[in-house]
Amino acid sequence: MIAILQWTTLAVCGVLTLARLPSAVRGENRSMFSILALMTLAILLSIDAPYLAVDEALGGMNIANLVLRFVIFAAIFFLGFRVARGFSAHDALRLITGPVGIAVAAAASAAVVAVFLMMDTAGSSAGLVAVFAKDDRNAALVEYYGAAGRLYPAYITLALFPAMVRTLRSGLPVLVRSSAALLALGTVAITLSLLSPIIPPSLGFMRFVFNYSAVLCLVLGLSLIWLAKALAKRAPAKQAGMT
């Protein structure tokens, strides 16, 4: 089930990234392409085989996992910035790009690096499963590392949540409200992922459900924004052609 969810998410992100490639080459809406490409890379690095191949090339010290964390940070920042501007959510934009947002990003980044350096990271292991199994100290540090890595994405998506709720209540087109609904669901999924340390082992699969559901909702919500914008541009052109 987990493998299916992983590869399905990768396929969706990859297809959407390729769909945006022609317009990005033309210089149109490159920010959308960048977000989708970063999301695709993040999913790729979260799957066992690609992760192990990349990490072995980097020395087999799980540096690939640290790279993954910062790829996610970059993707979620650009997504938050794009969505906040697209929905004219000035309050969210201030929280993302203002002093508070910068402070949260810096604190989360410092925490991720500090905890990573405290762990015994020798031996490539996707999801740091082998590091977790080494001893109690490393097991605790892996949990702290994961919590630090989820902090910034949760902050960005929570900053966007009020704007998504306002959009759902508005009279905007269905596609726009649908994108807001998906983005809101992604926010909820990322927030629930913060509960990972207290999820019992018997329900460990829920961590993957929260993480990959969040990515799918965010990527599909972002794509609906693009689709709504494209359709809005075509409508005046079609009407002009009929007159």
Tokens of residue 231, six digits: 């359709």
120: phi then psi, degrees, rounded to nearest 5: -90, 95
User: Is the separation of the CB atoms in 170 and 163 below 8 Å?
Assistant: no
- Return the pLDDT at 237: 46
Low-confidence ranges of the chain (pLDDT < 70): 1, 197, 233-243
- Return the pLDDT at 223: 83
Tokens of residue 144, six digits: 């702290």
Nearest C-alpha neighbor of 183 from the set 203, 199, 195, 167:
167
What is the C-alpha separation between 46 and 49, in angstroms, rounded? 9
66: phi then psi, degrees, rounded to nearest 5: -65, -40
- Return the pLDDT at 214: 87
pTM of the entire structure?
0.87
CA-based end-to-end distance of the chain: 54
User: Is the separation of the CB atoms in 118 and 141 below 8 Å?
Assistant: yes
| 91 alpha-carbon distance from chain centroid | 21
- Return the pLDDT at 172: 78
User: Domains plus CATH for the chain?
Assistant: 2-230 (1.20.1070)
What is the C-alpha separation between 191 and 99, in angstroms, rounded? 22
